[in-house]
Chain A
Amino acid sequence: MIPLSPKHLCWLFVVLLPVLSAHGEDLDPRIRKMEEERIRVIQAVQPSVVAVLTGGGSGVLISEDGYALTNFHVTEAARGPVMKCGLPDGNVYDAVLVGLDKVGDVALIKLLPKKPGDTFPFAKLGDSDKLQAGDWSLAMGNPFLLANDFTPTVTYGLVSGVHRYQYPEGTLLEYTDCIQIDTSINPGNSGGPLFNMQGELIGINGRGSFEKRGRVNSGVGYAISINQIKNFLPQLKAGLDTDHASLGFRLETDDEEGGLAKLIVKQIISSDAMRRGVDVDDQLVSFAGHRLRSVNQFKNLLGLYPKGWRLPIVYRRVNDKKQIETHETLVRLMGVQRQELPQPGQPPPGPGPRPGPGPRPRSGEAPLPDSPARKLYKPKDGFANYYFNELEQERLLKAFHKHGDFGKATGDWILRTTGTLYAGVGSRGKRVVADFTIRSKGARDRQNPLVQGIVDGLDYSLEPLSDEEKPATRRDPPDSGGLLMALYQYRQLLVYGAKGFVTSFSHGGVEPFYPPSEDQTKPDYAKRRVDAEVLRTRHAGVDGKWYFSKNNDETAGQLLGFEIWLDPDEDPCEVYLADYKDVGGGRLPHRLEIRFGDKVYANLVVNAWKKEESK
């Protein structure tokens, strides 16, 4: 790297000065207006640009309460969750790590105000999908750590390409759907903002194609698109160490000369996609509503979504009768990180060339410095910072309890329904009566709960906390995926909240949720999709995922549905809730749809909820 000494800079001014003075007089007014406009945009966004001092990178504020985005590889270099950041106001602020997206190279941090209640200047998030190759852009940050007063350096250049895919460089760190720029990006720019000419944040600068030119700008830089980050942001705010997604199969391109690529499934592992019927040699036609044209494009799309999201796919196959079958279904995305963790004994993969801080010793984290940000940090496995997860849990549960607080109803619960049962009786279904009782101390030991159900005259019962129940009993009634267990877990949430889940309880960010449609023949997933806040639970040996309305209306915080997994490698019992009505103590759903796998188990209309306080 060539050091830029003050002496060099002086020379630069000597050369530039005559140009500058000439420029004032006979410049085309249009050019001057453009320049003024550009200066206005730069001045407007500049106060939001962060110098991440611990770690030696850049960042950008995105909310008035101090949340800021940067690169994971910048926070990693900070060697701990507590850091110092400089703002263009000349002040140094304490900051704490909030959430991580290691695969996408994104981190969310929070700056602490000097006085409680002080607000920060912040950048408005743009829509990076509107960006086109050939648009102008502004990169801001702290390259070569030039600014001692934290005034960011600004560079100006073209968007060279959009929706670019950049392979992982020896690590999992993969840049999917990124923005390629010829705007100068250098070491220290990492984590800093890329703005469009309206001053909207469209990306986080993070990587360059350097190869033989040394670790400086070679005309090719990459920014992570803000639209990808938006998908992860609720998880980052919940303090999660997030993961990206895979579908559980490998695709290969199959095409003819002069034709367009077809993406064919080769190798498939046990996954939701496999359970949904995807098989080797099927053609994947579309993913998440996008028609597929190349493997790069597919990887770009996949990289946009966090693990666990449920998204539509369309696949096609030629059946035995040589007919083309087309299937459309929802698939749950699996993660990418777990199976790729370094094996014991192997050194961790080294970082690829990127404009960040130089290599550093990978010894453990430094001890936490004495900073007020320490109070905002709580370590926990699977989380970047569990303190922020607890904040999000509290906020969501508060909204949930506005719809009813059943904390006193610790006694037995009875649910009487009539409806249509589909399991085992064909597609037209059968009118049935179904009643369920959850007895708080109904088990044989008189301590633990018992769930009983009578569905279409057949009796079922389950002791959810007993180790002696057979696997089949835990999944009763047959073909429901475990409705008795699901209703028990539901009562746990209603009565005990977080305390009802002994093993774990956490906020999971925001995920798409698909309420059932009236018309069963047309899936139309895009239209049905609503984004919901998620709680994840584990209790009685089963995992639960709970979806809450995040609508900005009176339904905010209402439970839309939940999924209970008897086994993480099987389909869950899905319960969709609708028709909320007042019962004593709050509102409860009066229509339930229960699904398992690809089928509806039953549609039930609630005639009565009966709940008792403990005797």
Chain B
Amino acid sequence: MNTRQSLALAALCLLTAVALTPTKAEESFAHTCDHVNPKLVKLFGAGGFRGLQSYGTGILVSPDGYILTVNSHILNTQDLRVHMADGTHYPAKVVAIEPELDVALLKIGDNKLKVEDLPYFDVVEAAKRPPVEPGTGVLAFSNQFQIATRDEPMSVQHGVIAAYSKLYGRIGIFEATYKGDVYVVDAITNNPGAAGGALTTRKGELLGLIGKELRNELTNTWINYAIPINARITVTQADGKEATVSILDIVEKKEQYKPLTPNKKNEGPGVYTGIILVADPVERTPPYIEDVVPGSPADKAKLRPDDLIVYIDGVLVGDIHTFHEVLSRYHPNQTVKLEIQRDRKLQTVTLTLEKPKPKKPAAKK
């Protein structure tokens, strides 16, 4: 038999093998789900007021309880909680935040409480894999809409990588922090609470972290994307030098990780109202006006000391922290409707926001 014949025979054998392989009508991903789910955690933290959910998702990246997630407002709390796949729950703390990649590393437990032998994603291995091509089938795992608590498994969705591209997104009126490459998916994965979930291949291999709820800057449509696990971007440091940051770096350095650029805190350009609020000594000080800067938007709107700000455009602002949080979503030149309580009566005033002054007014921290 010559080479050509044997090759032909081999090809024939291969064809027959293909034809004879029993085709299971529809392959279930139940096995993949069982495999992936224990490596994900449900996060519960800050939020809960209008428009901001208090829950999110994270992935375990070590057997002793380090968690990778997307940096978001839910981490701004002393009382961050983690629900594991087996139903146990733990406190957690933020170990490091990488502002350019918009990711955070958390650690379960404290000095007394230690965890070990947890199932986890090997980020080193995952980061070695080249990006997958558009058209690749993927699965998305997250605790979107807080559907699961305790031992209830994550939601799983299926989709296809639609593009591997730069992200141009915004949250509300903010520009998105992360501007590197992302996987764009054709499934509706980026729902409330999904950020920090896992995008995997259909075999459950980690591809990326599901991102936030963003709209495309150009079309104003929702984008469903994930930050690739091998994401690395070049940043310019304060001294003008360029450096590279990557997810792998933060996962490897853990507590030793020092971000190269200041935390962007996901803020908008900032606005100026001329409102000076009372001092904020306790955690939930109501936003009473202490003083109003003459000639400022607040002055023009005839706001007065002792007015209590109750709503900003219909959003209840119960304390000074929330007041700043809500106001930080606005742009200069936007008008905003404040509902204030003056002499036990609710009144509505309209304020036109201005650009922040070079020197920050006293009330702004």
Contacts and interface: CB of A to CB of B under 8 A. Distances in A.
A217 B147 CA distance: 16
A473 interface: no
Contacts of B21: 30
B26 A217 contact: no
B273 interface: no
A38 B157 contact: no
Contacts of A466: none
Contact of A161 (B139, B155, B189, B192): B155
B145 A293 contact: no
Interface in A363-387: none
A235 B158 CA distance: 38
B28 A220 contact: no
A228 interface: no
A219 B140 CA distance: 11
Interface in B126-178: 139, 144-145, 147-158
B88 A197 contact: no
A133 B33 contact: yes
B16 to A, nearest CB: 12
Contacts of A260: 86-88
Q: Report, as a range, how many residues of chain A touch the other chain.
A: 35 or more
B32 interface: yes
B89 A257 contact: yes
Nearest to A156: B26
Contacts of A255: 89
Nearest to B187: A219
Interface in B81-120: 86-91, 109, 113, 115
B90 A258 contact: yes
A160 B26 contact: no
- Tell me if B's interface is mostly helix, strand, loop or mixed: loop
Interface string A211-222: 101000111100
B150 A293 contact: yes
A134 B155 CA distance: 9
Contacts of B156: 133-134, 158-161, 182
B23 interface: yes
A373 to B, nearest CB: 39
Given A160-B155, A258-B113, A134 B144 contact: no
Nearest to B204: A134
A555 interface: no
A157 B158 contact: yes
B303 to A, nearest CB: 31
A164 B144 CA distance: 13
B362 interface: no
A132 B25 contact: no
Contact of A294 (B109, B150, B189): B150
Interface string A533-545: 0000000000000
Contacts of B37: 133
B191 interface: yes
B28 A135 contact: yes
Contact of A293 (B33, B115, B151): B151
Nearest to A162: B153
A33 interface: yes
Contacts of A157: 157-158
Contact of A217 (B115, B145, B158, B188): B188
A297 B28 CA distance: 25
Interface string B10-31: 0000000011010101101111
B342 to A, nearest CB: 33
B222 interface: yes
Given A161-B156, A220-B145, A33 B87 contact: no
Interface string A148-168: 000000000111110110100
Contact of A34 (B25, B29, B33): B25
Contacts of B153: 133, 161
Contacts of A257: 89-91, 113
Interface residues of B, number: 43
A166 B154 CA distance: 15
A227 interface: no
A158 B23 contact: no
Contacts of A217: 188
Contact of B26 (A37, A180, A259): A37
A142 interface: no
Contacts of B192: 211
A29 interface: yes
A220 B144 contact: yes
A614 B301 CA distance: 95
B149 A294 contact: yes
Interface string B266-296: 0000000000000000000000000000000
Interface string A281-295: 000000000000110
Interface in A32-59: 33-34, 37-38, 41
Interface in A401-457: none
A219 B191 CA distance: 8
B18 A296 contact: no
B158 A161 contact: no
B144 A213 contact: no
Contacts of A30: 18, 21, 23
B18 A29 contact: yes
Contacts of A158: 29, 156-158
Nearest to A294: B150
A252 B30 CA distance: 32
Contact of A296 (B113, B145, B150, B188): B150
Contact of A164 (B113, B152, B222): B152
Contacts of B187: 182, 219
A136 interface: yes
Contact of B155 (A33, A180, A213, A258): A180
A209 interface: yes
Contact of A132 (B30, B89, B91, B144): B30
Nearest to A260: B87
B150 A134 contact: no
Contacts of A578: none
A257 B87 CA distance: 11
Contacts of B33: 132-134
A144 B86 CA distance: 41
A367 to B, nearest CB: 42
Interface of A: 29-30, 33-34, 37-38, 41, 132-136, 157-161, 163-164, 166, 180, 182, 197, 209, 211, 213, 217-220, 255, 257-261, 293-294, 296-297
Interface of B: 18-19, 21, 23, 25-26, 28-33, 37, 86-91, 109, 113, 115, 139, 144-145, 147-158, 187-189, 191-192, 222
Given A37-B26, A213-B222, A296-B152, 16 more contacts: A132-B28, A132-B33, A133-B37, A133-B153, A133-B155, A134-B156, A135-B29, A161-B156, A182-B187, A209-B147, A211-B145, A217-B188, A218-B191, A219-B157, A220-B145, A297-B150
25 contacts: A29-B18, A37-B25, A38-B25, A41-B25, A132-B28, A133-B153, A134-B156, A136-B28, A158-B156, A158-B157, A158-B158, A160-B155, A164-B147, A166-B147, A197-B26, A209-B144, A209-B147, A209-B191, A217-B188, A257-B89, A258-B113, A260-B86, A261-B87, A293-B151, A294-B87
Closest 4 CB pairs of A and B: A219-B188, A134-B29, A132-B30, A37-B25
